[in-house]
Amino acid sequence: MTPPTGSLPTASTAGSGLRTDVRVTRVDAVPFSIPYRKPLRFASGEVHAADHVLVRVHTDAGVVGIAEAPPRPFTYGETQASIVAVVDQLLGPALVGRSLHDRNALRAAMHRTVGNPTAKAAVDMAVWDALGRCLGLTVTAMLGGGAGRPLRVCHMLGFDDPAVMVAEAGRMLADHGVDTFKVKVGRRPLELDVAVVRALRAEFGPGIDLYVDGNRGWTASESLRALRLMEDLDLSFAEELCPADDVLDRRRLVRRSTIPVLADESATTPAEVTRELLSGAADAVSIKTARTGFTVSRVVLDLCDGLGVEVVVGNQVDGQLGTSCSAAFAAAHPLTAARAAELSNFLDMSDDLLTESLRIEQGHLVLPVGPGVGVVVDEEKLEHYRRDR
Amino acid sequence: MTPPTGSLPTASTAGSGLRTDVRVTRVDAVPFSIPYRKPLRFASGEVHAADHVLVRVHTDAGVVGIAEAPPRPFTYGETQASIVAVVDQLLGPALVGRSLHDRNALRAAMHRTVGNPTAKAAVDMAVWDALGRCLGLTVTAMLGGGAGRPLRVCHMLGFDDPAVMVAEAGRMLADHGVDTFKVKVGRRPLELDVAVVRALRAEFGPGIDLYVDGNRGWTASESLRALRLMEDLDLSFAEELCPADDVLDRRRLVRRSTIPVLADESATTPAEVTRELLSGAADAVSIKTARTGFTVSRVVLDLCDGLGVEVVVGNQVDGQLGTSCSAAFAAAHPLTAARAAELSNFLDMSDDLLTESLRIEQGHLVLPVGPGVGVVVDEEKLEHYRRDR
């Protein structure tokens, strides 16, 4: 008895005081490569260059929204070339002609393609950026976060000798006031990593916040042993120490750990978050806009809010554009701004695409100011670093 | 080592292309009373007049946002006078001077007052309405829903004789094309209600969608017996047949029911939704903007999305303003627009406050067009029906 939608009565919007609609005309994906000054090494891989993709959403208002897609093949199965292909061939065509105001429809349209989280997230964020530019609003304000909350920064320390990692932490503290560190662990013998964490705590005392990230490098038993050896080191979180697909072992680890276990690459969609939390495979969740964009990151956040678990805003080894996106999201919500967010990886890159560099001062990211995500691409730099010409 | 927030480096927004901020200057609450042409009777009470409260959020942009608070003492413990008092004395003062763009902070500020869901929800919705008017956007678009999805309407049938209830359903079908009915049940002997549902199915055949709402009127055993007696009547949902505080009995009901059990007054906050769903006391959740506003309704929706359960947009016996709010929310999301929403109670009121009446045609609500929630209060009607002068 339901009539076809096309025949439903609708009211005209003429003279209603409503803004004109804005629609997607084109989505493009530009691969670029910027070398790292210092490679980042961790249990599941290492990064020597930012072989990322700039995603641009063009609109019929003439405004262009931007975002950055950092491929991580060993976590999501995406490469720079696959992201370009998926945006060009699937996501872009699915969005052309659609309204920026109907982001829920854009999400559904992109969801028809399975996987490819980083490609989808970048398109989603570029849509929000474009809309913010049209409206003269920051993404943070669009997310209900007003002018944004101050964001403490957590710095990630990749594999190295204890003395080198302590020196890097010391520089971050002295130069940027950063006092929260995520230490990459998961090596064998695990005493290598325990020695690093112990050296950090010995050097900086109780004034710094420390957590560890195993990137699935250990077994559950090794993880429990490592946690036991670090019991006196006051860790805040233990992230992905062992694989989530070690199903029973992972639950045993979580049940017996006195440190809250943070799910990252095991909880990349709302359904995965539900599965991992409800099966007892995690205590808290890392949110990365690089893989869930703004639209789905908020679903994950609301899910964690409703389930009553903590979140950390993580880093997919983002460049400055990606970091700006993470920050726009993190600054909008009390729950995400409650803890230091992982926003400093860009410091190890030799350059970036933006006209103005992000800054970390007094331990906090200085939030970009401007509509959308708040940053602008330097066209000359893009010409220099792009790899498609 | 974290510096006080006041001393953090911040960038100036001058010349940034950002819109000027908009702040709350005053919140007022106007009690009004509009008689019902036909009272609505159900297991937990009956409604003879809409003794509601108009909530208005005034801003320094000169724009005023509006929403409607319908007190339901037997569900939430609120009365018309308590809502006026809480808005005047607690919620309003907590919001004055704050930015409409920082709705997450407004939520936190209101959350300091315990309970009073209807008062808080109306203030929240009036904030969104004001912001939509400032931006020239509908609330539906602000929620990411573009121009909105078509909304099928479900009509609620209050207690009466089978013939009277069948006649009312027939009128709704003939006059408005409405083909989804929620039948109030929970009377004793329960055969009274079973007879009504049977009469409806006999009269209209398989072409209509039927579900039942017990408003906690039965025990779990009575509920199971009633469901058994209605097993051949193809019900879509069974809502709050017995009290959620009958903890074990309710779980037994849900475990044994072949009809999905819809939680309404037992799941009025994100935490309650989590508790009821995870304890096996419900299969699906009713979302009412009248009690969770737009901000928290979206948290509930995202929570249900992430947990993988269905939602229904319910009705707190709203007037047209409240119905417009429900519709603005329901039309924004694929999950809420997937099923008929309860949007027709206003038809039984003798009048309303709006300049232009809502319409239900071809089974669908005609969405108001205009910024914010899209409707305007008729000042003469308000003068006539207000009860504070």
- Encode chain A (389 residues) as per-residue pLDDT tens digits: 344 444 565 555 556 778 889 999 999 999 999 999 988 899 888 889 999 999 999 999 999 999 999 999 999 999 999 999 999 999 999 999 999 999 999 999 999 999 999 999 999 999 999 999 999 999 999 999 999 999 999 999 999 999 999 999 999 999 999 999 999 999 999 999 999 999 999 999 999 999 999 999 999 999 999 999 999 999 999 999 999 999 999 999 999 999 999 999 999 999 999 999 999 999 999 999 999 999 999 999 999 999 999 999 999 999 999 999 999 999 999 999 999 999 999 999 999 999 999 999 999 999 998 999 999 999 999 999 999 98
Looking at the domain assignment, is residue B2 inside a domain? no
Q: In the prediction, which pLDDT does A38 show? A: 86
CATH value at residue A31: 3.30.390.10
User: Are A160 and A40 contained in the same domain?
Assistant: no
User: Are A67 and A191 contained in the same domain?
Assistant: no
Give Cα separations from B196 to B45, B155, B264 (angstroms): 19, 15, 22
Enumerate the residues of chain B whose CB falls inside 8 A of the CB of residue A137: 18-19, 101, 135
* Helix and strand counts by DSSP (H, E) for chain A: 16, 13
For an interface test with B, the pick among A2, A100, A180 (most B C-beta atoms closer than 10 Å) comes out as: A2
The residue among A94, A116, A138 that closes a domain is A138
User: Are B215 and B114 contained in the same domain?
Assistant: no
Respond yes or no: is residue A288 known to be catalytic: yes
Share of chain B above pLDDT 70, in %: 96
Q: In the prediction, which pLDDT does A2 show? A: 40
Q: In the prediction, which pLDDT does B387 show? A: 97
Of B144, B295, B306, which has the smallest distance from its Cβ to A102's Cβ? B144
CATH value at residue A210: 3.20.20.120
Respond yes or no: is residue A184 known to be catalytic: yes
Distance from CA of A137 to the nearest CA of B (A): 6
Contact at 8 Å (CB) between A131 and A22? yes
The residue among B119, B136, B153 that closes a domain is B136
Respond yes or no: is residue A316 known to be catalytic: yes
Respond yes or no: is residue A381 known to be catalytic: no
Q: In the prediction, which pLDDT does A14 show? A: 53
Of B274, B332, B334, which has the smallest distance from its Cβ to A306's Cβ? B274
User: Are B189 and B249 contained in the same domain?
Assistant: yes
Of B104, B307, B363, which has the smallest distance from its Cβ to A3's Cβ? B363
Contact at 8 Å (CB) between B311 and B261? no
Q: What is the pTM of this model?
A: 0.95
Give Cα separations from A367 to A56, A66, A122, A356, B258 (angstroms): 22, 17, 20, 12, 53
Distance from CA of A11 to the nearest CA of B (A): 7
**If you write DSSP's letter for every residue of A147-187 in order, what string do you get?**
T----BEEEEE-S--HHHHHHHHHHHHHHH---EEEEE---
User: Are A126 and A146 contained in the same domain?
Assistant: no
Q: Is the pLDDT of residue B240 over 60?
A: yes
* Helices of type H across B28-100: 73-76, 80-86, 92-95
Q: How far apart are CA A52 and CA A54, in angstroms?
A: 7
User: Are A215 and A288 contained in the same domain?
Assistant: yes
Q: Do B104 and A334 touch (CB under 8 A)?
A: yes
Looking at the domain assignment, is residue A180 inside a domain? yes
Contact at 8 Å (CB) between B109 and B95? yes
pLDDT band for position B40 (50/70/90)? confident
Q: Do B144 and A8 touch (CB under 8 A)?
A: no
Contact at 8 Å (CB) between A310 and A300? no
Enumerate the residues of chain B whose CB falls inside 8 A of the CB of residue A308: 271, 274
Report the chain B residue with the minimal C-alpha distance to residue A99: B146
Number of domains in chain A: 2
Q: How far apart are CA A358 and CA A360, in angstroms?
A: 7
The number of residues in chain A equals 389
Q: How far apart are CA B62 and CA A150, in angstroms?
A: 30
The residue among A75, A110, A138 that closes a domain is A138
Domain that holds residue A370: 142-378
Looking at the domain assignment, is residue B333 inside a domain? yes
Least confident of A137-146, B14-23, B90-99, B215-224: B14-23
Eight-class DSSP state of B225: H
Of B135, B152, B270, which has the smallest distance from its Cβ to A306's Cβ? B270
For an interface test with A, the pick among B22, B102, B355 (most A C-beta atoms closer than 10 Å) comes out as: B102
Enumerate the residues of chain B whose CB falls inside 8 A of the CB of residue A366: 9-11
Looking at the domain assignment, is residue A109 inside a domain? yes
User: Are A134 and A146 contained in the same domain?
Assistant: no
User: Are B151 and B275 contained in the same domain?
Assistant: yes
User: Are A163 and A128 contained in the same domain?
Assistant: no
A62 — alpha (psi -120 to 50), left (phi > 0) or beta? left
Q: Do B308 and A141 touch (CB under 8 A)?
A: no
Q: What is residue A199's three-state secondary structure?
A: helix
Q: In the prediction, which pLDDT does A18 show? A: 86
Looking at the domain assignment, is residue A7 inside a domain? no
β-bridge mates for residue A210, sequence order: A181, A235
Q: How far apart are CA B128 and CA B360, in angstroms?
A: 24
Q: Is the pLDDT of residue B376 over 50?
A: yes
Looking at the domain assignment, is residue B1 inside a domain? no
User: Are B150 and B113 contained in the same domain?
Assistant: no
Q: How far apart are CA A256 and CA A269, in angstroms?
A: 26
Contact at 8 Å (CB) between A213 and A183? yes
Q: Which H or E run contains A124?
A: helix A117-135
User: Are A164 and A230 contained in the same domain?
Assistant: yes
User: Are A156 and A292 contained in the same domain?
Assistant: yes
